[in-house]
Chain A
């Protein structure tokens, strides 16, 4: 899918620029194309590094664990098919906590372990269980409290208030997650 997007972006633009007689712009874009990408990485790097450091402190101090303990009681309501002491619930809680704190690289291993734990009880190994679907809806909703990359790029582009979009992002995320969970709830009721 990403392959198709990438190739069609380039081919469509190239043909369109040739047809409209913009060949010098096309030539220019191809030759200097790499610089903008490098600039973007360079803009992201400082805050990403600083933030990863701070989040490592959150993980090592046990704050992440604490956070997932708070989330956990809510999960038993969202996952009625999992028993309250099911090991998957712990992983799901850690995954959600890590995602919320913006610890993407820590979140993925927890998520994969949660899937594995749920697969153990699965009767049909090639078919997703209800709990798996609910978990992935929560996960793709992507509740991140502080979207670091966006803030970093706003800052590097001289925004007067780089963090002003935190609240709008959070509100939009909440709408998205609630919609996903409601859709899931309706689908489950039908069966």
Chain B
């Protein structure tokens, strides 16, 4: 399985380059345009990232979670994962930046190759920020009655998060 995932990125990149070559794209010029966009994007998200890393580090390092959810300790101990993962599951549909900050904290403390590190990676990669997307898209055309969009989105998130736990344990547990 490790071998397969090692191939995905290189093949993806090679395929794009060969396709562009065949279609006579100005490859280097395109790259520079995109790379500049990447730098601009990073600057745009910088204030939010710094704000969220500050707040989540404070929160996780205060060990408030361990205090409030001490009754869940037997479950978390049984699966050998720290309780820091809990807010990540709940906040994922609301703020992608907050969960990014939590994931980074987990990497720093437990390492990306620990079970919880892999679980955090899968959680971060498996879904988009539902509530933000709904607000942006419905807001743009002034739709206020959104029917079952929110409930469906949150249901899908819940299934995705449960699936992330299950699949991570299956692959790496």
Contact = CB atoms under 8 A, between A and B. Distances in A.
Asked if A and B are interacting partners, one says: yes
B45 to A, nearest CB: 8
A33 B54 contact: yes
Counting chain A residues whose Cβ lies within 8 A of the other chain, the interface size class is 35 or more
A37 B51 contact: yes
B5 A6 contact: no
A78 interface: no
B121 A169 contact: yes
A13 B91 CA distance: 17
Contacts of A145: 8, 12
B6 A149 contact: no
Contact of A133 (B30, B111, B142, B146): B146
Interface in B64-88: 64, 67
Contact of B19 (A53, A61, A99): A61
Interface string A31-45: 001101110110111
A141 interface: yes
B94 A146 contact: no
Contacts of B46: 41
B25 A57 contact: yes
Given A52-B41, A119-B141, A9 B126 contact: no
Contacts of A160: 113
A183 B39 contact: no
Contact of A57 (B31, B127, B131): B31
Nearest to B147: A128
B38 A60 contact: no
Contacts of B138: 115, 128, 132, 136
Given A171-B163, A180-B156, A144 B125 contact: yes
Given A38-B50, A150-B124, A175-B163, A63 B19 contact: yes
A70 interface: no
A76 interface: no
Contacts of B107: 153-154, 157
A38 B43 CA distance: 11
B64 to A, nearest CB: 4
A9 B55 contact: yes
B127 A128 contact: no
A176 B54 CA distance: 30
Contact of B2 (A12, A55, A108, A164): A164
Interface of A: 1-2, 5-6, 9-10, 12-14, 16-17, 20, 22, 25-26, 29-30, 33-34, 36-38, 40-41, 43-45, 48-63, 99, 105, 108, 111-112, 115-116, 119, 124-128, 132-133, 136-137, 139-142, 144-147, 149-151, 153-154, 157-169, 171-173, 175-177, 179-180, 183-184, 187
